[in-house]
Structure 1
């Protein structure tokens, strides 16, 4: 039997098993085989995982392992593995450990030379990225931003010149605050993609400048519900960035003239491309007018 024919779980192995993020049909055949054949399934919340197990007639015993008890309960699972039992680690949805419990257990298994076998499967961040239309050759996963505004703004400021596509998770009740803070720190024209309720009936993936996304979410409260992924275009390095003197002159002109006329005059004075001035002016107006 080769590695591709191996179906059931082997002894003394911790399996990392992704589960569907919404559509239960996204479970893999291999994941089902492992969940049926392991000695124990370490779950984030038994009530949640029970729905999945019932759907596929899996009767394997569950053992809760979440953020509040992982440190203590990892020792119990480690002893089970050392005695030859096999264990599957799952979270409520998606790939375990990605903003979910399990890191400490995996770390201890690696330190104890216990084999850890990852299964491929559902992950909201990767699913959203694949459909976003944003560059995917280089990206960074930032998870959830800090809850407190000051810390959140500080992190966004630190990421302001990040050139890779950025991926964030966000809770529905903080979505507006996060989008507004992104607008303040990164400018209203930074392109973002909002991916909500992936794989579910109400799935939506919509991209636009931050100020448009923010207005859309404010006007349609349905967009503030469910599981949310925010993808942000990386910082675009401009070859012809505006010198401070040009900015000051342009803003002075803009206070008295229309955007079109201010762009034309500033372009003539400094020899700067109109497209750069126009983008700067529109960004300034949106930051001033959109609340």
Structure 2
């Protein structure tokens, strides 16, 4: 099955300029604006599909010069191993600088306490803010998209945060005509979201067009899984099936990647980009709504994390 989702319009020179070209151009413009306005930007890179596209665009923005930004990953200790292996592969391939902030270390030395439910994604906030403060990062690139979730839908591309990393809606600036205001006081930081206007479908179209390499778990593969709260979970260091939860080996793939204790897979035979494009085009649920248990903790789970300083 083939899917043609290109929205093209002719240019004066006869070439075609489609939606992906416009989104790519916007993202590259944002990366270059940040490089010109800020002293110590950093890219949040987990090895997930959105942060991989984010990094691909950043490298493209400055090629053939080396990437002028450091990478930062807040590792929960509950990440899927394939994603960590892919993260390290990309860092080595492009000779990049990676700083890892470990939730596991914070728990081990008492700076954080394990939650009763075992979910570690909410524990990422303190290590993230500490890493930003210790390294004096003044701009932090993230791979958030507006189509993912309500709290992200109203976010600016340049999101001003106070000295504690917290978001105040009253202090956000208007963004008109692609003009971005990076002004900030000492101690403040700006979160930057170059993928804001991409949708999940745009991400996959871009991956297919630019042949972006991804972690293998985004494509259909055989994996032991069990069903919990309507999601297909996989066992790991975070635990396994409870009584009454049957472990099965099925063909699955991941639409999004986070803490292994809360991120579910979807049943799928989509083993290549074309098949995934067809699958995503037919879906009526966002990837976070369908497969992220941490977003189900409360109606305002992501909003709370944003106010606290993580997202």
> TM-score, normalising length from structure 2?
0.29
Greater relative contact order: 1 or 2 (C-alpha under 8 angstroms, separation 6 or more)? 2
Q: Judging by fraction of residues, say which structure has more helix.
A: 1
Which structure would you say has the larger Rg?
A: 1
TM-score (norm 1): 0.30
